[in-house]
Amino acid sequence: MPDKLIEGLRRFRSEVFPQYREHYRNLVDAGQKPATLFIGCADSRVMPEVFTGAGPGELFHVRNMGAFVPPFEDDRSFHGTSAAIEFAIQVLEVDEIVVCGHTHCGAIRALYDPPKGTPHIDRWLELASAARLADPVLDSRGCPHPETLRRTEQRAIALQLERLLTYPQVRERIESGRLFLHGWHYIIEEGTIDILDVEQGAFVRMES
């Protein structure tokens, strides 16, 4: 194991864990009861607990390439993301679901320039193919312009929110007022969030 990770574990054990010892014990004894399912990208720069201030037991995570949501499928295949969504709804009974994409997302860039020899990535990217702009603006090198990528990132978030509605448990709880969906676009370089305003049909900057 890398020395840096070992040292981090030691610091956690000696400096951080003692502050939360009783809280962790309560989470073990009473079980977890997070209010929010956070569907985020696996990107190493996206650290939800850091930018939300959430503590242990507050967020139930699903993280994958691009923060994508596969459609509900009633079959016998392996569905890791779908199983996590189902667990959050049926077992944990979360009140909120946040789908959080971000700037400079490799999955979104791959929609315009997919890597070679990666069949699993190719298949996974189909979950965001509808977000790809039909006539993208390119820069002088023929790469997608930053504004093209930002628009695509936001379109992909909205697409995943729509796909959550294919889950019967999600739709039923929304219709009964027991569950709320949110779309976030995390601006890495600015440390802020643009939030999808459904009524405006646009992402708006989070107020300071």
Q: Are residues 43 and 6 in the same domain?
A: no
Q: Is 190 helix (H, G, I), strand (E, B) or coil?
A: coil
- Residue 45 CB neighbours (<10 A): 12
CA distances from 20 to 25, 29, 31 (A): 8, 14, 15
Q: Are residues 138 and 72 in the same domain?
A: yes
pLDDT score at 139: 75
Look up the CATH number of the domain holding residue 184: 3.40.1050.10
Q: Are residues 15 and 38 in the same domain?
A: no
Q: Kindly give, in sequence order, each residue whose CB lies less than 8 Å from that of residue 199, ignoring residues fewer than 6 positions away.
A: none
pLDDT score at 173: 97
pLDDT score at 79: 94
Tokens for 131, please give them.
């977000």
DSSP 63-100: EETTS--PPP--SSS--HHHHHHHIIIIIS--SEEEEE
Write out the chain's pLDDT in tens, 208 residues. 678 999 999 999 999 999 999 999 999 999 999 999 999 999 999 999 999 999 999 999 999 999 999 999 988 888 999 999 999 999 999 999 999 999 999 999 999 999 999 999 999 999 999 999 988 877 777 778 899 999 999 999 999 999 999 999 999 999 999 999 999 999 999 999 999 999 899 999 987 6
Q: How far is Cα 47 from Cα 42, in angstroms, rounded to an integer? A: 9
pLDDT score at 208: 67
pLDDT score at 90: 96
Q: Are residues 99 and 200 in the same domain?
A: yes
The structural domain count of the chain equals 2
Q: Are residues 15 and 70 in the same domain?
A: no
CA distances from 3 to 7, 8, 9, 17, 185 (A): 6, 9, 10, 20, 34
Q: Are residues 16 and 97 in the same domain?
A: no
Q: Is 126 helix (H, G, I), strand (E, B) or coil?
A: helix
Q: Are residues 7 and 37 in the same domain?
A: no
Read off the pTM: 0.93
Q: Which structural domain, as residue segments, surrounds residue 157?
A: 32-205
Q: How far is Cα 202 from Cα 144, in angstroms, rounded to an integer? A: 21
Q: Any idea what DSSP says for residue 75?
A: S
Q: Are residues 187 and 197 in the same domain?
A: yes
In contact, 108 and 160? CB cutoff 8 Å:
no
Q: Are residues 120 and 43 in the same domain?
A: yes
Q: Are residues 3 and 51 in the same domain?
A: no
